[in-house]
Amino acid sequence: MAARTQAFTRGRRLLCGCALALIAPIALTLPASAQPDPVAAFYRSRTVQAVVGYTPGSTFELYLRMFVRHLGRHVPGNPNIVVQHMPGAGSLKATAYLAGVAPRDGSVIGIINPVTTIEPLIDPVNSKFDPRAFNWLGSLNSEISTCGFWTRDLRTLADLKRREVVVGSTGPASGSTVDARVLGPLAGINFKVVTSYPGLTEVRLAAERGEVDGHCGLQVSAIKTLAWDDFKSGRIAVPVQMALAKHAEFPEIPNAYDLATREDDRALFRLIFGPWAYGRPLLAPPDTPRERVAALRAAFAAAVVDPAFQAEAGKINMEVQPMAPDAIDKLVADVLRTPAPVVARARVLLGAQNR
């Protein structure tokens, strides 16, 4: 009896060993598609923070909030993505956070004002980050800046040259300040910039109350999504646009770049307004793991052409002109190669030497 029991036990061990020997090669030869996805495992059941450097109601916030509603469906693991507001200094506060403080594991992304990418040139003491280190995911559109005015006597470019023009701004380094301080000398306009507003929504409300005449840094996308009826009715006047080429829908509005006749003026214009070519860029912080960056970039590319996102954008007249990460990399590098004399002139115009 004992001998039969021992034989039975040895048989079971032999069978188990044979089974394991058969299973191991099968596990090793599973196709790649059947292997666990570490990126999906990271994002599954996770909440991703999407940082925007403006208050609710701004165009940057609108673009981000609408886009992330669709982005999560295309990220492996389908994380929940929530918008985190971090207003301050025209999104420079958010840019600095994403550059040096935010987790670098793929759990944080952000959208920044592209003008902040020139700040390391303009104010290197206070802007200690390298925009070339960001992991760009893509840009939602190319942008054209304008100045908009609610005051009835400011309808044309000639009107702007007749008196001091008071414009609101969200901070010394914000696009609304930069645009006014550069456009003024180039076009012969005497701007007084008031930098005390938390967001451009508040600036527009101040303009409606008569506290300021209007503001620069009014992007065409903001006109089309937030103020299209007011623009069409003439309640808001847009006497000038600032871009390397006019917007196709505003051929009659003078372009400041066309008015610049000297090459040093045109070089200054390219430094200040060139970043708007990558108008609504999304990014992940430096040193984010490459496989997660790749997944986020693929998700961006899929979400931006997602019919549901395109339909939602179309309902509010939102401009969507996607730009790939490598194109943003090139444009950022081009801007940062601006000759030193042009940068020095910009620093004087923007008062950076006093910061």
What pLDDT, on a 0 to 100 scale, did the predictor assign at position 83? 98
Residues 106-119: tens digit of each pLDDT:
999 999 999 999 99
What pLDDT, on a 0 to 100 scale, did the predictor assign at position 355? 57
Max mean pLDDT range (1-5, 15-19, 229-233): 229-233
Residues 198-246: tens digit of each pLDDT:
888 899 999 999 999 999 999 999 999 989 999 999 999 999 999 989 9
The Cα 174–Cα 176 span in angstroms is 5
Residues 137-149: tens digit of each pLDDT:
999 999 999 999 9
Nearest to 174 by CA among 154, 145, 151, 149: 145
Cβ contact 268:342 at 8 Å: yes
pLDDT at residue 326 tops 80:
yes
What pLDDT, on a 0 to 100 scale, did the predictor assign at position 55? 87
Percent of the chain whose predicted confidence (pLDDT) is above 90: 78
Higher pLDDT, 241 or 90: 241
Residues 133-187: tens digit of each pLDDT:
999 999 999 999 999 999 999 999 999 999 999 999 988 878 889 899 999 999 9
What pLDDT, on a 0 to 100 scale, did the predictor assign at position 22? 41
What pLDDT, on a 0 to 100 scale, did the predictor assign at position 138? 98
The Cα 259–Cα 182 span in angstroms is 13
Which two three-digit tokens encode residue 235? 């309640």
How far is CA 38 from each of CA 41, 55, 81, 263, 289, rounded to the nearest angstrom? 5, 35, 19, 52, 12
What pLDDT, on a 0 to 100 scale, did the predictor assign at position 183? 95
Rounded to 5°, angle at Cα 188 from 184 and 193: 30
β-pairing verdict for 237-242 and 47-52:
unpaired
pLDDT at residue 28 tops 70:
no
Q: Edge to edge, what strands does the sheet with 281-284 contain? A: 80-85, 47-52, 108-111, 281-284, 135-139
The Cα 236–Cα 233 span in angstroms is 8
Cβ contact 247:84 at 8 Å: no
Report the amino acid identity of residue 294: A
